[in-house]
Chains A and B, each alone.
Chain A
């Protein structure tokens, strides 16, 4: 939690300076899906951020949290966004292809 502070401060300063694009909505972090695999998870996820899965694969997948927090269906070409509501570690997988797994680490704001 020490490390992101500087980055966040700089980002906040940049936003104030430019005045533009002050996010009414949270940071959206992309996770692509291709070749029957989830891309590595984004780092430094915070509560209120969103992850968006973008399915570039030939096949339909799901991103299903083992703790029940989300279960999204990803048809080929689909982009689906989920807002992260609580801090913690979320393990997720594809219900169709159980070898496909990922992990999100979400910290509080």
Chain B
């Protein structure tokens, strides 16, 4: 249950979005495209950093390979996202959802830093399962429906597919670490 903070933060964002969503054009409460871009980028960056922490700590080859995949895939999406916002002339805008994601991730990183060996591996992978599940919920429930720009929406959809694959991979790995 140590991962409930990011879950709660994103759920709050999700609810806020859903409450105002239907005809979301510039409605108060629904995130704007610059905010959505910022949230998605932050969510990816958090997982890159979690992967880097795991690469520095783990001795398990499966966990290492998984962490390398997280760093590689999320960096690829985020590079694409940066290129897209540049092309669209959009400046990603910081917002409370991004901030609570970052705060929760920082706390999680500090918590994982205290663990070693198998205990670290299990906690890292369990958090990856939960984190990807939460982000998937936010992407499909709020960020994708609220995105107005078609290219941003398409990139978020790729992100959702990627996060779903990562969640499956993390669940499989969690089963092997038991």
Contacts and interface: CB of A to CB of B under 8 A. Distances in A.
B76 A58 contact: yes
Given A35-B158, A36-B158, A60 B168 contact: no
Given A97-B169, A98-B172, A36 B76 contact: no
Chain B interface extent, by class? 10 to 19
Interface in B70-116: 72-73, 76-77, 80
B158 A58 contact: yes
Contact of B164 (A35, A60, A76, A99): A99
Given A58-B158, A98-B172, A36 B77 contact: no
A46 B165 CA distance: 32
A96 B158 CA distance: 15
B136 to A, nearest CB: 13
A58 B164 CA distance: 16
B69 interface: yes
A55 to B, nearest CB: 12
Chain A contact-residue range equals 10 to 19
Given A35-B161, A36-B158, A59 B80 contact: no
Interface string B143-178: 000000000000000100110111011001000000
A98 B80 contact: no
B80 A58 contact: yes
Given A58-B80, A98-B169, A98-B172, A36 B72 contact: no
A36 B73 CA distance: 11
B168 A99 contact: yes
Interface in A80-101: 96-100
A97 B168 CA distance: 8
Interface of A: 35-36, 58-60, 76, 96-100
23 contacts: A35-B158, A35-B161, A36-B158, A36-B162, A58-B77, A59-B72, A59-B73, A59-B162, A60-B69, A60-B72, A60-B73, A96-B69, A96-B165, A96-B169, A97-B162, A97-B166, A97-B168, A97-B169, A98-B165, A98-B168, A99-B165, A99-B168, A100-B165
